[in-house]
Structure 1
Amino acid sequence: MYGEEPLFGLLNRIGTPVEGHRPWPRYRLGRDGWLRLIEGLAGNGWSLLGLWGEPKAVHAAFREDFSGDIAAVSLDCPQGRFPSLSAVRPAANRLERAAHDLYGLVAERTTDPRPWLDHDAWGVRRPLSEQPAAPVPNPGPYTFLPVEGDGLHQIPVGPVHAGIIEPGHFRFTANGETVVRLEERLGYVHRGVEGLMQGRPVAEAAKLAARISGDATVAHSLAFARAVEAALGVEVPARAVWLRALMAELERIANHLGDIGAICNDAAFAFMLAQTSQLRERVLRTADACFGHRLMMDRVIPGGVATDLPERGAGLLLELVAELRKRFPPLVAIYDGKASLQDRTVATGFVSAELVTRFGAGGHVGRASGRDQDARRSPGYAPYDELSFEVPVLTEGDVNARVWVRIREVEQSLSLIEQIVARLPAISRGLDHPSVPLEAGRGGEGMALVESFRGEILTWVRLEGEGTVARCHPRDPSWFQWPLLEAAIGGNIVADFPLCNKSFNCSYAGHDL
């Protein structure tokens, strides 16, 4: 019935707009309206952007992919229950399970009711609810999904791994060397970020946002800052806007270079890792010289940026671009011409276009399988609306395609850095407004969508009048990508899992919060 109806058309009929939510509207729904929303989701292309809870309420955000319209919806849950979205938007399931673990909200008729973040290791259950509960005295083991069949065996991997990486458990069911099913269990690096943000001044919460996932510190900082600025109606100085984009592209290049080399290393071609690691190190040193920190952590702040380019910064950046333009293409040629690499990456770890669409996956995972979404372009944000760049999209959906998306994005980011340096606005006023978000008597709600090197980050924030964070939800791209890794490894051999896993490079910390 509602399959062809525009997003705003349906929401205006079934919900009530909430005042003070920027830049996109938020609608308050009743239970009947929530059920009608679920009915509408069953027959259209609205992507889930996020789902989060708070005591006695649940929220979700959607994008109409064709028009680009974005809206958030809310349902009051006085009894702590709400109808699950997981049957029509499978990416909602783990977010619903997280909302249950943190806030005690029960998703009715969910596709999977098991706990997610809570491993029965906390000193309290439902820690962010109005009435936290004591832990279970004798918790049983986590129940993995059953698999039956002749000749099947299970291989448990993790949560502690051989390398210096974050913890996560992977339960393989295999027939000989062929993987029949992979099931993940994450949450081992849960740090209570959402709870830590509550009641904090904006400046302190910004530091927490910068540490959600260290490799995407610029992107998470930018998403938090833009959400705060939207809530308060803060205008950021033009030069600061362009410096933010400069840092974001440096971060993108550094991570893509590292991933390309690591994927090749997992295919037993260590030479590529050694070469791309040198280039990545060159990027990090340039970032340190230009912004005073290798990862540029805490350099993007609400209201602007914390530091400007030094006098020689523009020259250093152009030297970096020139060096990468010289050294990167020969490495790409080696990758493309190495038969042993192509044998490992081509047709390995396939993810269909249907799956990336159903889960709303973005970044290199989505674009390698044909999903043409990039938050820099749609909904778009400054200064990318004034810059020229292409979003590489492939359709093969395998490890090789995810490598090539990264390669093309490195090339595009080099061009973007050149454009930014050439057009960087002069300093007409301060680079930041550190006092604006802290002004007494100012509050509001804001939401931001930012493109990290992994894909879209959604951050939603509600600010109290005294300039503190009442509630913040940062949704890392990994929430919508981790489930697809389970699908990608199916039918491949166990030995190809490191290759598939690295081609995704999902964040444990960004997911576990």
Structure 2
Amino acid sequence: MPALTDLIEAGRPVEQHAPWRRAVVAPKIWNLAVEQLAAGHWSLLGLWAEPDTVHMALLDAVRDIGVISLKCAGGRYPSVGQRHPPALRLERAAADLFGLLPQGLPDTRRWLDHGQWGVSHPLAAGALAAEASAAPAHAPAMASYRFLPAEGESLHQIPVGPVHAGIIEPGHFRFTASGEIVVRLEERLGYVHKGIEGLMAGSPVERAAKLAGRTSGDSTVAYSLAFARAVEAALGVEVPLRAVWLRALMAELERLANHLGDIGAICNDAAFVLMHAHCGVLRERVLRASDAAFGHRLMRDRIVPGGVASDLSEEGTAAVRSVVTEIRQRFPHLVELYDNTASLQDRTVATGRLKPALVRQYAAGGYVGRASGREFDARRSPGYPPYDELAFDVPLLQEGDVNARVWIRIREVEQSLSLTEQILQRLPGGPIRVDVAGASVAQTGVTKTGGPCEGMALVEGFRGDILAWLRIGEGGMIECCHLRDPSWFQWPLLEAAIEGNIVADFPLCNKSFNCSYSGHDL
């Protein structure tokens, strides 16, 4: 089995790409990497494109990370999804945005493009002058989309969405059922595509950082951190130590708020409103403490390239300590209530099972992966500071059902409480930010060899690992940037987890995954 480093060395290395290596490779090397993915030896971290190039970020068997890039002669390249299904939707999205055609792709339907953009392939060269060949703007987006057929006696279809009851993002779910049993679920997403990559191109770093933090609102800290770390890697910027620890504090507060909200919401979908109410109160306490500590309930725009935008005062420290104490007092009783309520366990145990083999194939992260036996946490591997100095466990279960995904969240709440206490206890003093614009490389935006600089980061959000890749060009402007949400590899697994369950259990399974629409749709 070849190592990822061997493939990169066989290509043409990109000189200024940090912290991991990137190389432009020949089609033969590209296909060799696809073979490793198909055999289950490597994992796909991301696949994205530029007008004439496709990139693939990979994680090999010894957890080395690297990027290989392929020039697309005639706008075509060998499909990864043909042999490795996790790449399918990523390739369809790249085809919509850039017009690059994966040869052999088994599913060529549009993914992000619903025929409403007014242009075809908006990020391709000369795209602004092209007219969309899709349906007119007034035509329903669903009308021209061909859902996959399902054959069998007494099957019926149930369309749900894209508009849903309550305050929820849009997404369409097409169920094929036999009576109450789900035979197939097919998703149609892309309704909240915002054009993040197009908006970032040509933007200064500061504006692009704000866009990154708005990719998925519930993960604004994680996205801001991933983008900032990628910028800092590209420019060789060293962040002040206090800022590094404050970033981790924000990340753990974001994780706490989201996990508490999810635990309550899952129980609510199982008609156990009491848990929803109590978890909602604790989530609100975390949000208020975050506001007191950093000036924003979601801590949006608090992490910036070069450090953080605001310091932690004594009052903010007291607010965070207070909410940690309150959760430690109240949360164990809620856990006991969850575990000892037979009607609730009847709904969550053995519902929506996700097989470990699928999780490994899709390299699913976060609670989805860890509930089905995949022990991957970007804070630990590849790792980033200050987590290398903090003590924490990565909870792991094998059952892969709704109950397991709840318990992973419970254990992560406990770990985040401990991490928050450790950070507050060891928080160093000093400055909180350095001037990225004043960095030696950033002044011109080019390296000593005359080329642009590229950076990459992998950060653990509450859903799982978030990938950020970018290139900074002349004048310190963002030439291109790609952000990959963990939901790209989790949404397809929801389709697998619901099969064989009753239709009424879909909200429960869906909430136990809690995939991001906005983060996925870019």
Both proteins in one fold, TM over 0.5: yes
Q: Is the aligned partner of 1:163 residue 2:166?
A: yes
Alignment of 1:136-151 (within 5 A): 136=133, 138=135, 141-151=144-154
2:131 to 131, 134, 146: 134
Aligned to 2:76: 81
Residue number in structure 2 paired with 1:355: 358
1:240, 1:432 within 8 Å by CA — same for their partners in 2? no
Name the residue aligned to 1:40.
Answer: 36
> Aligned to 1:348, what secondary structure does the other structure show?
coil
Q: Indicate the residue corresponding to 1:483 in structure 2.
A: 492
Distance between the aligned counterparts of 1:124 and 1:10, measured in 2? 37
Instruction: Name 1:124's counterpart in structure 2.
Output: 119
The 5-angstrom pairing of residues 284-295 of structure 1 reads: 284-295=287-298
Give, in whole Å, the separation in 2 of the partners of 1:54 and 1:339.
Answer: 53
Q: Distance in 1 between matches of 2:135 and 2:413?
A: 51
How many angstroms apart in 1 are the aligned matches of 2:102 and 2:126? 18
In structure 2, what is the equivalent of residue 180 of structure 1?
A: 183
- The residue correspondences of 1:444-483 to structure 2 (distance < 5 A) are 444-483=453-492
> Matched residues in 2 for 1:100 and 1:477: separation?
20
In 2: Cα distance, 1:440 partner to 1:303 partner: 17
**2: CA distance, partners of 1:484 / 1:450:** 21
Which has the larger displacement, 220-229 or 24-33?
24-33
Shift of 1:316: 1.9
Equivalent residue for 2:106, pick from 102, 108, 111: 111
Range that drifts further, 314-323 or 137-146: 137-146
Structure 2 residue corresponding to 1:271, chosen from 262, 274, 297: 274
Shift of 1:441: 3.9
* 1:41-440 correspondence to structure 2 within 5 Å: 41-64=37-60, 66-132=61-127, 133-136=130-133, 138=135, 141-427=144-430, 429-436=431-438, 438-440=442-444
Gaps of 5+ in 1: none
Q: Which moved more, 1:316-325 or 1:354-363?
A: 316-325
Shift of 1:314: 2.0
Deviation at 1:87, TM superposition (A): 3.0
Q: CA deviation at 1:138?
A: 4.0
**Over aligned residues, Cα RMSD in angstroms?**
1.2
Deviation of residue 111 (structure 1)?
2.4
Distance 1:329 1:386 in 2: 27
Change (3 A) 1:430 1:284: closer
SS of equivalent residue, structure 2 residue 368: helix
**In 2: Cα distance, 1:484 partner to 1:446 partner:** 30
Please report how far the alpha carbon of residue 338 of structure 1 lies from its aligned counterpart in structure 2 after TM superposition. Answer: 0.4
Mean Cα deviation higher: 312-321 or 95-104: 312-321
Structure 1 position 136, deviation (Å): 2.0
In 2, Cα distance between equivalents of 1:272 and 1:415: 23
Secondary structure class of the residue paired with 1:458: strand
Say which SS state the counterpart of residue 490 (structure 2) adopts: helix
SS at match of 1:466: helix
Which of residues 22, 26, 35 is equivalent to 2:22? Answer: 26
1:267, 1:499 within 8 Å by CA — same for their partners in 2?
yes
- Helix, strand or coil at the partner of 2:494: helix
In 2: Cα distance, 1:40 partner to 1:337 partner: 45
Distance (Å, rounded) in 1 between the aligned partners of 2:444 and 2:279: 48
- Per the normalisation by structure 1, the TM-score is 0.97
Q: 1:301/1:447 Cα in 2 relative to 1: closer, same or farther (>3 Å)?
A: same
Contact 1:177–1:494 under 8 Å retained in 2: yes
Shift of 1:33: 2.1
Structure 2, unaligned runs of 5 or more: 137-142, 447-451
Q: Which residue of 1 aligns with 2:502?
A: 493
CA contact (8 A) 1:229 1:303 kept: yes
The one-letter amino acid of 1:458's match is L
Distance 1:258 1:330 in 2: 16
Distance in 1, Cα, partners of 2:191 & 2:340: 40
Distance in 2, Cα, partners of 1:355 & 1:339: 30
Residues 137 and 320 of structure 1, relative CA distance in 2, 3 Å threshold: closer
Alignment partners' CA distance in 2, 1:436 and 1:161: 47
What is the match of residue 511 of structure 1?
520
Give the AA of the match of 1:493. I
Match of 1:16 among 12, 16, 41: 12
Any idea what SS the aligned residue of 1:189 has? coil
Residues in 2 aligned to 1:340 and 1:32: alpha-carbon distance in whole angstroms: 56
Paired residue secondary structure (2:474): coil
Note the alpha carbon deviations across 1:146-165, whole angstroms, 9 max, x for none: 11110000000000001110
Q: Distance in 1 between matches of 2:268 and 2:331?
A: 17
- Could you state the TM-score of these two structures normalised by the residue count of structure 2? 0.95
